[in-house]
Homo-oligomer: A and B are copies of this chain.
Amino acid sequence: MNKTRMEAFSDGVVAILITIMVLELRPPEGTTWQALKPIIPVFFAYVLSFVYIGIYWANHHHMLQLTERVNGAILWANLHLLFWLSMVPFVTAWMGEHHFEPVPTALYGIVLICAAAAYTILQRALIKEQGPGSRLASAIGPDRKGLVSLAIYLIALPIAFYRPWISDLLYALVALTWLVPDSRIEHRIREG
């Protein structure tokens, strides 16, 4: 069972998600710089989500490169990840349009947690199919970076109700740590 079509489908969905978010950036009524002001938080929410979706795509890309076989369970673990990613435009719009208020900020965090969990489930399904001695298994290892990210999200969640901007900074912080594609995997790929 080949992985090419699963990759192509995922690329399609992710490409659409990353571009439909920009549809939420509605052109303002006025034609002054001032008129753009209410759009600024929507813009920042968009940048954050663009980076997150980009990170998921880059890591998905890397992970699949070390994958040889896929099965039915992997197909559905992948669709499950795509489902949570497809929630990102919705929470981005809600958070951006309401200037990063508590509940939208918290819901954004919940979607990030669900997406991270879905990514981990997909990772485990892939490792299970490739076997514990596979290049993928040894490249991922105990996945400390993933666990730390999850911990930060869980800390950011309750903070959203008191100081949402701190939660937003934490979300951005996690994104920054992931901007470099997973070097463990890149290392393995070079080793061949």
Contacts and interface: CB of A to CB of B under 8 A. Distances in A.
A98 to B, nearest CB: 5
Interface residues of A, number: 61
A54 B79 contact: yes
Q: In the complex this chain forms, how many copies of it are found?
A: 4
Interface stretch (A22-30, A116-124, A142-150): A22-30
A86 B12 contact: no
A87 interface: yes
Interface in A1-51: 1-2, 5-9, 11-20, 22-23, 25, 27-28, 31-33, 35-36, 47, 50
A57 interface: yes
A31 B102 contact: yes
A107 B39 CA distance: 14
A158 to B, nearest CB: 14
Interface string A57-77: 110010001000001100110
Contact of A13 (B2, B15, B31, B190): B15
Contact of A93 (B1, B27, B61): B27
A82 interface: yes
A15 B17 CA distance: 10
A94 B28 contact: yes
Interface stretch (A128-136, A167-175, A178-186): A178-186
A159 interface: no
Contacts of A162: none
A86 B136 CA distance: 33
Interface of A: 1-2, 5-9, 11-20, 22-23, 25, 27-28, 31-33, 35-36, 47, 50, 54, 57-58, 61, 65, 71-72, 75-76, 79, 82-83, 86-87, 89-90, 93-94, 97-98, 101-104, 107, 179-181, 183, 186, 189-190
